[in-house]
Amino acid sequence: MPWITAILMVVGLAVLAAMYWNRNVTVQDLEVNELRYTTYEEVKQAAAIPPEVKPDSLDLSGVSMRVEKLNYVKSVVPYVEPNGTLRLSIKERIPVALLVHGKDRAYVDAEGVRLPILDKPSPDVPLLYGYRTSGSDTLNGESFKQLSQFLVQAQADPFSWTTLSELAYDKMDGVVALSHENGVKLIFGHNNFELKLENWKAFYHQVIKTKGIDAMRQVDLRFTNQVVTREI
């Protein structure tokens, strides 16, 4: 039948194209998506692509593993295009806070992975006290889990992110922050951070903009239906 002949021809052409590709195409170029904290040169050096390597001889898993060892790289998805270009889709780790321990500093992401200080760009993140800045272990205790949940919620809201400057965890008060203006103590408790950040935003616009932040010493947002303040 004509349609069977056509299918066989298409399959045959595909096989010939694959054979040509495997025999003649080599990986000549490396492309990556736009990155913020990792440079192209760092990725290229870590990938360590052998010269004139053919796509079917390239260990893509090994390339991914080497690149994922870079400090700010979270995951890598490799793909070789028909022209031989190796494309790496890289997801970076995003700092959510700057750990401060004495004179030492280190960034940390939402998973508790410590990240080295960058010359540039300098991430705009709150200071976080009470944790070591070095060590091979990730921060995965209950206190950091709550802080991480809070930071992720705050980072998603431009208002919250710009009004917080320092954070810590207290067993009784939970997540405690200082406002960027005047260092007012803000108590967010142990849970429901999205709601409490919304309450903080509403309180700021409805009360602080009228009274002025200078009048505030402490704002307790632990309660669902009320905001308790301590004024100067």
Name the burial class of residue 213, with classes exposed (0-12), middle (13-18) and buried (19+) by CB atoms within 10 angstroms of its CB: middle
A 10 A CB-CB count for 86 gives 21
Q: Is 67 helix (H, G, I), strand (E, B) or coil?
A: helix
* 43: nearest Cα among 22, 21, 23, 64: 64
> What is the tens place of the pLDDT at every residue in 15-67?
444 444 455 678 888 999 999 999 999 999 999 999 888 888 889 999 999 99
**% pLDDT > 70, the chain:** 90
Q: What is the pTM of this model?
A: 0.83
* Whether pLDDT at 117 is above 80: yes
CA-CA distances (angstroms) from residue 60 to 27, 49, 146, 147, 175? 12, 10, 37, 36, 43
CATH 3.10.20.310 fits 2-92, yes or no: yes
* 83: nearest Cα among 32, 145, 21: 21
Q: Where are the domains of the chain?
A: 2-92, 95-231
d(C-alpha 44, C-alpha 219), whole Å = 49
**CATH placement of domain 95-231:** 3.40.50.11690
Give residue 217's pLDDT band: very low, low, confident or very high (50, 70, 90): very high
